[in-house]
Amino acid sequence: MPALKNHGSATAAPAGRTTAGGPPGWLVFLLAASCGLTAANLYYAQPLLDLLRQTFHLNEGTVGTLITVTQIGYAAGMLLLVPLGDRLENRRLISTLLVVVTVAMAAAGLAPDFAVLLVAALIAGAASVVAQILVPFAADLAPDHTRGQVVGRVMSGLLAGILLSRTLGSLLAEVAGWRVVYLASAVLMGVLAVTLRMALPRRTPTAQGSYGSLLRSTFRLVRVHPVLRRRAVYQAAMFGAFSAFWTTISYVLTDSPFHYSQIGIGLFALVGAGGALVAPVAGRWADRGRGRIMTAAGFVLAICALLLAMLGAHHIVLLVAAAVLLDVAVQSTLIVGQHAIYQLDPGARARLNSIYIATFFLGGAIGSQLGSMAFRFGGWSAVTGCAAVLPALALLLWLTDRTGGHVLRRERGLRAACARMAGAPDRHAC
């Protein structure tokens, strides 16, 4: 079996791009929009859980497994499919996965029973990892000194898609029923498959070898990079809290004293999506070396947001404020974490991202199920109390972190030494 080898990140330059300036604005926008549209597939169902519960005659705990299964599928796709982004030509891989998503979302929209819907959601979740192939794609296009900004812009599209999917799902369900939400997404995925196949520049694979050796190299990254392990655990805790909140908030909004319709739930989600605006700012701060303090601030902000949500169970203004603050906290730590892991091995960014996001979504799956069970047995106070424990545990782990800053400082020193030895005119040349 041939050994897996890295050959650097070789990417054909798209029109209008220079090495120093990074990718053109239209391409960054396309990548951001594509990430948002594909990631949205994971969350259309969250505001629809009450409708699905009525359609299939299920209780809250059972219908909540739809979100959990979707996130488990996404985590599996991160581990088994995203590493192929370092091995296969990316345009072909991306378009193939989008075709699979198209078929799965169509099957979900036509599902005759809940079991079929679960299987379709599992497949759609696994193939929707296209978003996490596009993020390292964008990182490869950007020079070192603007990578955090570019990744932040692309991630802002992904995170906006996650949040706005709830609004779009609610509005479509109110007008035409929940099945139309899935069928409309199937159409969007088909269009996106063609668009990206035509518009993306060719990206040369950075690794060679068999699929088995590729997977082994992916798990080896976990052993050799403590920064990756810590950042993955941090974000799993944050996304677990995030998922517990958003999986159950529709039950709160449809009950007394609010009695919101699907449109009302959608508008609530739309306001909460304002937190996505922080992603580019977080990227710039990460570029300036402020990642460690931003991480702690994100944990504290998430805890405060969930406690505010607990107190505001009957006050919509407090719930909106809690939603925005929680989104800001989760997105900030996500961008900082990605900025940190992308510096570990430029030739393995897709594989690093696969571990990071897979762990992230496993945390989300646990949080979704935890939230559904907590709501069933203890109501909203139990949900927010359990969710607040997760970032609190991450904060305690952060207090023991003595590796991240040292590793990143060492890598910046190596790049500077490389530039001096090569006679490079600036520190970004390596």
Q: Are 189 and 323 in contact (CB under 8 A)?
A: no
Question: What are the tens digits of pLDDT across the range 132-173?
Answer: 888 888 888 878 777 777 887 887 787 778 778 888 888 899
Give the model's pLDDT for residue 374.
94
3-state secondary structure the chain: CCCCEECCCCECCCCCCECCCECCHHHHHHHHHHHHHHHHHHCCCHHHHHHHHHHHCCCHHHHCHHHHHHHHHHHHHHHHCHHHHHCCCHHHHHHHHHHHHHHHHHHHHCCCCHHHHHHHHHHHHHHCCHHHHHHHHHHHHCCHHHHHHHHHHHHHHHHHHHHHHHHHHHHHHHHHCHHHHHHHHHHHHHHHHHHHHHHCCCECCCEECCHHHHHHHHHHHHHHCHHHHHHHHHHHHHHHHHHHHHHHHHHHHHCCCCCCCHHHHHHHHHHHHHHHHHHHHHHHHHHCCCHHHHHHHHHHHHHHHHHHHHHCCCCHHHHHHHHHHHHHHHHHHHHHHHHHHHCCCHHHHHHHHHHHHHHHHHHHHHHHHHHHHHHHHHHHHHHHHHHHHHHHHHHHHHCCCCCHHHHHHHHHHHHHHHHHHHCCCCCCCC
Nearest-angstrom CA–CA distance, 360 and 166 = 20
Q: Are 68 and 368 in contact (CB under 8 A)?
A: yes
Buried b (16+ CB within 10 A) or exposed e, 402-417: eebeebbeeeeeebee
Q: Are 65 and 369 in contact (CB under 8 A)?
A: yes
Burial of 198 (0-12, 13-18, 19+ CB in 10 A): exposed
215's CB contacts (< 8 A; 6+ apart) are: 79, 80, 83
pLDDT band, residue 6 (cuts 50/70/90): very low
Query: Where do the structural domains in the chain lie, given as residue ranges?
Result: 26-420
C-alpha triplet 366, 367, 372: angle, nearest 5°: 100
Tell how far CA 400 is from the center of its chain. Answer: 26
Give the model's pLDDT for residue 140.
80
- CA dihedral (43, 244, 375, 398) in degrees, to 10, reads 170
Which single residue is written with the structure tokens 């549209």?
37
Nearest-angstrom CA–CA distance, 430 and 416 = 8
377's CB contacts (< 8 A; 6+ apart) are: none
pLDDT band, residue 241 (cuts 50/70/90): very high
Residue 314 CB neighbour total at 10 angstroms: 12
Tokens of 48: 């629809």
Tokens of 179: 């099945």
Nearest-angstrom CA–CA distance, 185 and 37 = 8
Burial of 223 (0-12, 13-18, 19+ CB in 10 A): exposed
Type of residue found at 57:
H
Q: How many angstroms separate the first and last alpha carbons of the chain?
A: 32
Give the model's pLDDT for residue 388.
97
**CATH homologous superfamily, domain 26-420:** MFS general substrate transporter like domains (1.20.1250.20)
Question: What are the tens digits of pLDDT across the range 345-390?
Answer: 888 887 888 899 889 888 988 998 899 899 989 999 999 999 999 9
Burial of 92 (0-12, 13-18, 19+ CB in 10 A): exposed
Tokens of 115: 């079991």
Nearest-angstrom CA–CA distance, 316 and 320 = 6
Question: What are the tens digits of pLDDT across the range 301-357?
Answer: 999 999 999 998 999 999 999 999 998 899 899 889 988 998 898 888 878 888 998
Give the model's pLDDT for residue 286.
78
Q: Is the peptide bond before 257 cis (omega within 30 degrees of 0)?
A: yes
Nearest-angstrom CA–CA distance, 339 and 241 = 22
Average pLDDT, integer, range 34-41: 92
pTM of the model: 0.74
Q: Are 107 and 158 in contact (CB under 8 A)?
A: no
pLDDT band, residue 276 (cuts 50/70/90): low
Give the model's pLDDT for residue 267.
84
